Amino acid sequence: MTTLVGKTAPDFTTQAVMGNGEVVEDYNFSSAIAGKYAVLFFYPMDFTFVCPTELISLNNRIDTFRDLGVEVVGVSIDSHWTHSAWRNTDVDSGGIGQVDYTLAADLSHAICQSYGIESDGGKSYYPAGVAMRATFIIDQKGIIRSMTVNDEPLGRNMDEVIRTIEGLQFFEENGQVCPAGWNKDKAAFTPADPSKLADYLSENAKGL
């Protein structure tokens, strides 16, 4: 697996189902996220078990992502037609319903390979060839700022994705780094001044 943090997010053009249900043949990722933050959200397969809980959880927070200026894009090795069928299956029937973000197809596996998260089977719980549960947070310049990967049985926490984006934006706006467990209501400090770290630790270490 390649670490891509600090590098330009690999671009791709593929078939996709848009948030309005439209099926397109030439969805281009870099064009879709130009000037925006982005969450690129890989998952193993449509019509599975943990995956729908994650995609529904993402959609339940879509207004928060939009308020943060984030484009959300899901990717698996399924076709755009399978994405569409899953999207058109009600939640009560095991589907994901009309999610409001793009689902991109990766039938050739080229996208998950370019991001270094295609499973080789190995000792993980993934079958070989599927995309791992990988989340990439990308800044407005197209640079990957966070990369997380879970093994197949372990669903992701979408509130943590939001917290990480908020931390990135806070750092960009204020130049202050975000300590362990940081959120918008907690203190941060400027890394260039060693005294600020000492002050922060003296006041906050026990609560970390």
Tell me: do 161 and 183 sit in the same domain: no
169 three-state secondary structure? helix
What's the pLDDT at 74?
Answer: 98
Query: Among residues 38, 40, 51, 72, which one is catalytic?
Result: 51
Closest CA to 101 of 20, 196, 208, 197: 20
Query: Beta strand 70-76 with 37-42: parallel, antiparallel or unpaired?
Result: parallel
Name the amino acid, one letter, at 134: A
Name the amino acid, one letter, at 191: P
Q: Which helix (H) or strand (E) holds 26?
A: strand 23-28
Query: Is 51 annotated as catalytic?
Result: yes
Tell me: do 56 and 84 sit in the same domain: yes
Residue 62's CATH number: 3.40.30.10
pLDDT in tens, 85-142: 999 999 999 999 999 999 999 999 999 999 999 999 988 898 899 999 999 999 999 9
Tell me: do 41 and 135 sit in the same domain: yes
Q: Is the pTM of this model over 0.85?
A: yes
Tell me: do 24 and 119 sit in the same domain: yes
151 contact partners, CB below 8 Å, separation of at least 6: 124, 125, 126, 132, 133
Tell me: do 154 and 55 sit in the same domain: yes
Tell me: do 170 and 188 sit in the same domain: no
In angstroms, the CA 189 to CA 129 distance is 43
Tell me: do 170 and 182 sit in the same domain: no
One digit per residue, pLDDT tens: the chain, 208 residues? 679 999 999 999 999 999 999 999 999 999 999 999 999 999 999 999 999 999 999 999 999 999 999 999 999 999 999 999 999 999 999 999 999 999 999 999 999 999 999 999 988 898 899 999 999 999 999 999 999 999 999 999 999 999 999 999 999 999 999 999 999 888 888 888 878 888 899 999 998 9
What's the pLDDT at 1?
Answer: 64
- Name the DSSP class of 2: -
Number of domains in the chain: 2
Tell me: do 34 and 120 sit in the same domain: yes
Question: Is the residue at 8 inside a domain?
Answer: no
Closest CA to 146 of 34, 43, 66, 37: 37
Domain that holds residue 196: 176-208
Tell me: do 124 and 191 sit in the same domain: no
Tell me: do 113 and 207 sit in the same domain: no
